[in-house]
């Protein structure tokens, strides 16, 4: 299999943490998004969506979504399970992955892509040129700021997001915290649970 990625970007970073924790070795190609390499015709021949990460499986199938890539890798490399150890945990991991993406990642992206000059006409990822909407900036900041509180409350009496071990939900929560810095948001001082959790996850995931 071959992984096309860009380690500095948030969605690719989720895969980086995932394969690092599992100890998986994958043939990897870095596509520099800052230089717009993901928009080049040569890469669009591989992934018409022009998004990263992109995995070409051993069967020659194209996977373009993080959750799909993780499910595929979990099935092929079941050591150190990261998608849950039981039916309920699997459901909870997927549920939290969805919430973190919709309430956290998308809020930050909404702010960043509608504010930064680097994303003029690139307000949404993908093959289409989408104009920025400045009115969405403050809404994105509000949503992202609130999600810190959501995570802090969830972690009030637990060490991990789901169950008693590391999961993709933890990887996503850690990546959200790092991604928030792109719009100059930090964990609020009053969110002590999340602050302590962040320290633990940085130690575990590096």
Q: Which of 76, 97, 120 is the last residue of a domain?
A: 76
pLDDT the model gives residue 36: 92
Residues 102 and 146 in one domain: yes
**Cβ atoms < 10 Å from Cβ of 102:** 12
Residues 70 and 17 in one domain: yes
Residues 102 and 201 in one domain: yes
Residues 109 and 194 in one domain: yes
Residues 181 and 120 in one domain: yes
> Has residue 82 been placed in a domain?
no
Q: Which of 76, 105, 137 is the last residue of a domain?
A: 76
Residues 43 and 144 in one domain: no
pLDDT averaged per 10 residues in sequence order, the chain, 206 residues: 96 97 96 94 96 97 97 95 97 98 97 94 90 96 98 97 97 98 97 98 90
pLDDT the model gives residue 206: 74
Residues 91 and 72 in one domain: no
> Has residue 9 been placed in a domain?
yes
The backbone region for 6, taken as left when phi is positive above 0, alpha when psi lies in -120 to 50, beta otherwise, is: beta
The backbone region for 184, taken as left when phi is positive above 0, alpha when psi lies in -120 to 50, beta otherwise, is: left
Per-residue model confidence as pLDDT tens digits over 44-63: 999 999 999 999 999 999 99
> Domain total for the chain?
2
Residues 93 and 55 in one domain: no
Residues 99 and 176 in one domain: yes
**Which CATH number goes with the domain that contains 52?**
3.40.30.10
Q: How far apart are the first and last CA of the chain?
A: 25
**Tokens 């302590």 sit at which residue?**
196
> Has residue 81 been placed in a domain?
no
pLDDT the model gives residue 95: 98
pLDDT the model gives residue 127: 86
Parent domain of 45: 2-76
pLDDT the model gives residue 126: 87
Structure-block tokens of residue 192: 């002590």
Q: Which of 23, 41, 76 is the last residue of a domain?
A: 76
**Cβ atoms < 10 Å from Cβ of 89:** 18
């Amino acid at each position: 299999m071959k992984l096309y990625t860009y380690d500095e970007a948030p969605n690719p970073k989720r895969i980086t943490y995932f394969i690092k924790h599992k100890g998986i070795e994958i043939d990897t190609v870095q596509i520099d998004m800052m230089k717009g390499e993901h928009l080049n015709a040569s890469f669009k021949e591989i992934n018409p969506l022009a998004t990263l990460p992109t995995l070409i499986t051993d069967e020659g199938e194209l996977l373009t979504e993080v959750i799909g890539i993780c499910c595929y890798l979990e099935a092929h490399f079941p050591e150190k399970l990261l998608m849950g150890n039981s039916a309920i945990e699997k459901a909870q991991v997927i549920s939290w992955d969805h919430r973190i993406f919709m309430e956290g990642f998308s809020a930050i992206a909404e702010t960043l892509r509608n504010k930064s000059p680097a994303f003029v006409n690139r307000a949404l990822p993908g093959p289409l040129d989408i104009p920025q909407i400045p009115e969405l900036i403050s809404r994105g900041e509000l949503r992202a700021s609130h999600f810190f509180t959501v995570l802090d409350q969830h972690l009030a009496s637990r060490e991990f997001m789901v169950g008693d071990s590391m999961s993709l939900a933890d990887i996503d929560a850690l990546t959200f915290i790092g991604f928030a810095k792109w719009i100059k948001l930090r964990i609020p001082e009053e969110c002590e649970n999340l602050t302590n959790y962040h320290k633990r996850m940085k130690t575990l995931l590096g």
